[in-house]
Structure 1
Amino acid sequence: MTSKLNVLARSQARRRAEYITAGAVVLITGAARGMGELYARRAAKEGAAAIALWDVDEDRATALAADIERLYPRTRARAYAVDIADREAVAREAKRTRDELGAVDVLVNNAGIVRGALFWEHDPEHDIELTMRVNTLAPMWLTRELLPDMIADRSRPKRILNIASAAGTLANPRMSVYAASKWAMIGWSESLRLELCRSGAEHVAVTTFCPSYISTGMFEGARGPLLTPIMTPVRAARAAWEGMVAGKPLVLRPWTVKLSMAFRGVLPTRAWDAVADKLFHVYSSMDKFTGRQ
């Protein structure tokens, strides 16, 4: 029975992908490596008409674009060197993308950075301001540029996938600025989803992905809390993408993220602090963080 249900679920997922991704124009930030690359390859595999690969690493993005076009000749893949921390660059390259590939149907706000340190050790410009620009403001700027066309065009469903983090649901030492950027991302993303629904633009679905640690190198040295394994990029990207295609509002992975949110919601703050610290080891998970060098 379980096997039959799995086959049915995969069949339904394929049909949804054909409906959402096939023939679509897809824009992915942070597309040159890690999960961004996985999203790009998934979009091409599902028949996207065009994929805009936004990244600061132009050489790597260009190589990925060439590889996608070699493997999937019906998909146009274009690399765009964009520093998304620069609002004017975001606006300029968004216009260029529309002019070259057409209006965007699927937007994946994937790019992000992390700084793991005590708050008072953060540099105001290169840590605090840059993290907020890349992780929070850039997705807002880019979505604002693309959203009017997405709302106006009802010829096909539109999708926005915002990559947040479990850090945006629970406080964690040595993660104050990163957590702040992801809390803001979740609040904005969920509010945007509700605004679209209340405005009659249900064809534009917003999905927020909140994963725990993923082995992309970005969180090198971090340790998963109790019962929370470090996820592989493949597994995480699959969950996010399939949730986006299905139009799910929130995708939380692994299951312990939802459990922790439930505990935090019902326990008094000091009691939760003790559970998170001594039982789940959430508060010590960043103690040996080194990050991508």
Structure 2
Amino acid sequence: MAPHPEQPSVTVHHDVYPGIDLDSRLKDAAKGKVVYITGASRGIGEATVLAYAKAGASGLFITARSADALTSVAESASKLAPSALVEPYAVDVTDEKAVGESVKKCLEKFGRIDIVIANAGYLEKWVKIGDIDPDEWWKSMTVSIRGTFNVIHHTIKHLVATKGYAILLSSVGAQNRRPGASGYQTAKHALNRFAEFIDVEYGSEGVKVFAIHPGGILTVLAANEPSLIPLLNDKVEIASNTMVRLTSGSEDWLSGRYVSCNWDLDELAKRRQEIEEGDLLKNRLDVGGLANPL
């Protein structure tokens, strides 16, 4: 029996399409929301700050390790949307106490948190398990898993209070098994499962969560692995705009699942019954015909 495919049959986009257009479909989709974003100093994180500012967010608490870069992003967001309050705050997501302090600062500034974007990550150079520097391997795991845990640990009760949203930056790599990529791809696979746990534990209290593949985007981080560069041809806005849509309320039914920002969300919605009845787009062991008795 052939293995089941790991991509749904929907249109794949590489740039903004009508369903994620901030000037039409998603105009004011984040109006009045307070958004806490990690890894916000460049790349996907920076684009996400700008997207939520354009979509009407009233408060943006943006974090990364580089204070100077965050200041520049905050200035760009303020120019784009003068009514949005933007608060930059330097923090390393792997420092649990520092993350906790950042969340306190966000609450002091804005009073609540409606949306959390756990974007900070790390990509090691891809080397086989026996040859890679163990510290490099574990850094991928630590930033992606521990860093995301720290952020959710300190924000989840506030998301319960607002019946808010959490987005975890996963990757299509979570589904792949590429030689040399065991650190990065294992970490992203674990993030998908972590999103499922957030849904299991807090979904009944109103929290919505998605683990997303942002698309194949050429960022400084992605360029750390040269073999990936020819594959990275997507516009960064496909990630940022999709996140705005996922937290707009129209895709709440996808909570607890893995979603690729390349997938056409309007087409995916037509498969809603199939997805819900089969509890699809989640990590699980495929036993195929072994499910049938001998």
Structure 1 length-normalised TM: 0.74
Counterpart check, 1:166 vs 2:172 = yes
| Corresponding residue for residue 207 of structure 1 | 210
Pick one of 183, 193, 196 that aligns with 1:187: 193
CA contact (8 A) 2:51 2:240 kept: no
Q: Residues 70 and 237 (structure 1 numbering): CA distance in 2 closer, same or farther, change over 3 Å?
A: closer
Q: 1:130 aligns with which of 139, 143, 150?
A: 139
**Percent identity between the aligned chains?**
23
Q: 1:24 aligns with which of 27, 33, 43?
A: 33
Cα deviation, residue 148, structure 1: 1.0
Q: Please tell me whether residue 118 in structure 1 is matched to residue 124 in structure 2.
A: no
C-alpha contact 1:105 1:150 (8 A) present in aligned 2: yes
The aligned residue for residue 175 of structure 1 is 181
Which structure would you say has the larger RCO, counting Cα contacts within 8 Å and 6 or more residues apart? 2
1:84 matches 2:88: no
Aligned to 2:74: 65
- Which of these residues, 212, 215, 220, is aligned with residue 217 of structure 1? 220
Please show how residues 276-287 of structure 1 align to structure 2 within 5 Å.
none
Length, aligned pairs only: 246
Deviations 1:24-67 (A, max 9, x none): 11011010111111110111111111101101111010111122
Letter in 1 for 2:26: R
User: In structure 2, what is the equivalent of residue 234 of structure 1?
Assistant: 237
Alpha-carbon distance in 2 for matches of 1:95, 1:8? 35
Q: Report the counterpart of residue 290 of structure 1 in structure 2.
A: none
Query: Which is worse superposed, 231-240 or 77-86?
Result: 231-240
Q: Which amino acid aligns with 1:251?
A: V
More helix by share: 1
Indicate conservation of the 8 Å contact 1:25/1:105, yes or no: yes
Deviation digits for residues 208-232 of structure 1 (CA, Å, limit 9, x no counterpart): 102453212322323489xx76322
Letter in 2 for 1:28: I
Match of 1:53 in 2: 62
Would the aligned equivalents of 1:168 and 1:179 in 2 still touch at CA under 8 Å?
yes
Counterpart in the other structure of 2:259: 251
Aligned equivalents of 1:238, 1:9: Cα separation in 2:
6
Cα offset, 1:146, TM superposition: 1.0
Change (3 A) 1:211 1:49: closer
Q: Letter of the aligned partner of 1:233 in structure 2?
A: V
Q: CA RMSD in A?
A: 3.0
1:150 aligned residue: 159
Q: For residues 194 and 117 of structure 1, do their structure 2 counterparts lie closer, same or farther at Cα, with a shift above 3 Å needed?
A: same
Structure 2 vs 1, CA of residues 148 and 8 (structure 1 numbering), >3 Å: closer, same or farther?
Answer: closer
Query: Offset at 1:194?
Result: 2.8
Report the secondary structure of 2:211's partner residue. Answer: strand
* AA matched with 1:111: A
Residue 195 of structure 1, CA deviation: 2.5
Give 5+ residue unaligned stretches, structure 1. 1-5, 269-293
